Structure 1
Amino acid sequence: MSGTRRTDERNGRLGGVLSGLAVALGCLLFLGGFIWGAFVYQPYTVPTGSMTPTIDAGDRVLAQRIDGTEVHRGDVVVFKDASWGDLPLVKRVVAIGGDRVACCTDGKLTVNGKKIDEPYLASGQPASLNGIPSTTVPKGRLFVLGDERKGSLDSSVHLQDAGNGAVPRSTVAARVDAVAWPLRGMLDRPSSFSSLPGGVSQPGPIAYVVGMVVVGAVLIFGGAAWGPITGRRRRGASGSRDRGELAGVS
């Protein structure tokens, strides 16, 4: 039986090594995911319901830090324009510099004459409450609307401002990728903008960040539990052999 015990000891040492490696790798992934996420993403609490039903007042969102030059139509962005107030605002980009935007044709927003389906609007909600006269967005600017068109203070109510109500790209600080709390997951990229020049933006790395954190946590807890579990099994198996030996001797 001594050979069996030596085998058990070798297996136990190997299990301990593998358990330690799992915990170490898990810590690397877990901490790496958090560090990567903190570097790329900024959390924001949305103060108003102007983006309902996509984002409700009080929701906590994760927004990828980007440069304003990276913004595409359909993106939900965080920006701060002094002429609109002192607080960061969250709106959806519906047109970019050079576009001609208007509302409404057959009840729909149009961009460069193309009718835009907006599945993010609440059922039965008009694309614009008071209409938007045909407006050309100046170069380097973004025409933004809230998804709650009845009460959002957006480009449609700033049409008399400089830039025809559009905000400079330089005011954009981040693009919202997901609603973190309450947990609603990733925001969809509206396909209705994909046929326009430049298409839509690609999601940020949030799925990879979350995956790293989750896999890291599983490895940490799994690796930490492996040692005690296998230890109990070895002790149980050793006790059974000892009892068998004693029975044989008797």
Structure 2
Amino acid sequence: MGGAPPRRAGWLGRTLSGLAVGLGCVLLLGGFVLAAVLYQPYTVPTDSMAPSVAAGDRVLAQRIDGDEVRRGDVVVFEDDEWGPSLMLKRVVGIGGDTVACCDDQGRLTVNGDPVAEPYVGGDSGASSVGFTVEVPEGELFMLGDNRADSQDSRSLLTDTNTGSVPRDAVSGRVEAVVWPFGELGLLPRATGFADQPGGVSGEGPLRPLFYATSAGAVLILVGAAYGGMAHRASRPGRRGVRTSGVAHNEGTRG
């Protein structure tokens, strides 16, 4: 009877361990599968989006439809007029907007409102070239953050071409830099466009997916360790065997 409680404790420990490992596997594998479905990796080929992302950076872009794009989004798209490769630029105007540069303080304006762009790199400000364009409905006007060294919608502007890109050319919205490790993190929201109709895009599901996969990994490690301890604790120890001798005195009947 003395061995029953350890056996029950061991069974309970192994059960809890199995549940923790099982739940951990669901969270870990489910997180990775969802991330693979919802996101696409992309290697940045040039410095046209520096300092937000630099050449050689590895980013994750959430797979979205063009209808989900908001001003300020950094998007991945493909358009024949821009070349055969995937491109990565920031959306500064959507269909119906009037985008111009620059105002008296050198700022980009959208529909007459100046836009704060803390992400713009280089010394040229919002643009070294002045322009005014009305973006056609269903299209997007794109600029690189490195305005002094970016081939973008400004490069395609002509009397008959607005330099814009159809919404359906967009395949993803960049949400995070994942390599190099020192640059790991989510891209800040472009809050300078927040007062425009439709506002700016909210954060995608990458952060919850990261928490889920991290929790899954911890549960697997803790569950496996606890299961091992429970198994060792439930093993019966060696018991010494004592033999009791009983002396029988026989009376002598005479």
Q: TM-score, normalised by structure 2?
A: 0.88
* 1:118-139 deviation digits (Å, cap 9, x = unpaired): 01123755111222x2211111
State the one-letter code of the partner of 2:62. Answer: Q
Query: After alignment, is 168-177 or 116-125 more displaced?
Result: 116-125
Instruction: Report the equivalent of 2:185.
Output: 185
Q: Deviations over 1:56-87 (max 9, x none)?
A: 10111111111111100000000011011000
**Cα gap change, 1:13/1:161 in structure 2, threshold over 3 Å: closer, same or farther?**
farther
Equivalent residue, structure 1, for 2:17:
19
- Report what 2:203 is aligned to: 203
Cα distance 1:146–1:107, how it changes in 2: closer, same or farther (>3 A)?
same
SS at match of 1:49: coil
- 1:80-229 matches, within 5 Å, as 80-105=78-103, 106-122=105-121, 124-131=123-130, 133-160=131-158, 163-183=161-181, 184-229=184-229
Q: What amino acid does structure 1 have at the position aligned with 2:206? A: I
Contact 1:100 1:111 in 2 (8 A): yes
How far does residue 29 in structure 1 lie from its aligned partner after superposition? 0.9
Counterpart Cα distance in 2 of 1:187 and 1:84: 24
Q: What is the CA–CA distance in structure 1 between the aligned matches of 2:142 and 2:87, rounded to whole Å?
A: 10
Deviation at 1:229, TM superposition (A): 2.8
TM-superposition CA deviations, 1:160-181 (whole Å, max 9, x none):
1854111111111111111111
Structure 1, 191-200 or 115-124: larger mean CA deviation: 115-124
C-alpha distance in 2 between matches for 1:125 and 1:22 = 56
Q: Report the counterpart of residue 62 of structure 1 in structure 2.
A: 60
- 1:95 and 1:76, CA in 2 relative to 1: closer, same or farther beyond 3 A? same
Cα 1:224–1:162, aligned 2, differ >3 Å: closer, same or farther? farther
Once the two structures are superposed, what CA deviation does each residue of 1:180-223 show, in whole Å capped at 9, x if it has no partner? 11242111111111110010111211112111211111111111
AA at the equivalent of 1:152: S
| Aligned-partner Cα distance in 2 for 1:95–1:34 | 34
Q: Which runs of 5+ in 1 are unaligned?
A: none
1:127 and 1:149 in contact (8 A); partners too: yes
Question: 1:77, 1:93 within 8 Å by CA — same for their partners in 2?
Answer: yes
Residues 141, 153 of structure 2: 8 Å contact kept? yes
Flag the structure with higher helix content. Answer: 1
Secondary structure of the 2:100 match is: strand
For 2:97 and 2:20, the matched residues in 1 are separated by 53
| Counterpart-to-counterpart distance in 2, 1:148 and 1:90 | 12
Aligned mate of 1:49, from 47, 50, 54: 47
Indicate if the aligned counterparts of 2:17 and 2:226 stay in contact, CA closer than 8 A: yes
Percent of paired sites with the same residue:
53
In structure 1, C-alpha distance between the alignment counterparts of 2:46 and 2:165, rounded to whole Å: 19
CA–CA separation in structure 2 for the residues paired with 1:94 and 1:145:
7
Larger CA Rg, structure 1 vs 2: 2
Kindly tell me the number of residue pairs found equivalent between the two proteins. Answer: 239
- Counterpart of 2:252 in structure 1 is none
Q: In 2, distance between residues paired with 1:161 and 1:48?
A: 28
Q: Tell me, in whole angstroms, the C-alpha distance in 2 between the residues paired with 1:162 and 1:102.
A: 17
With over 3 angstroms needed to count, the CA separation of the structure-2 counterparts of 1:182 and 1:162, relative to structure 1, is: farther
Going from structure 1 to structure 2, the CA distance change for 1:163 and 1:139 (only over 3 Å counts) comes to farther
Contact 1:137 1:163 in 2 (8 A): no
Return the letter of the residue paired with 1:119.
Answer: P
Moved more, 223-232 or 43-52: 223-232
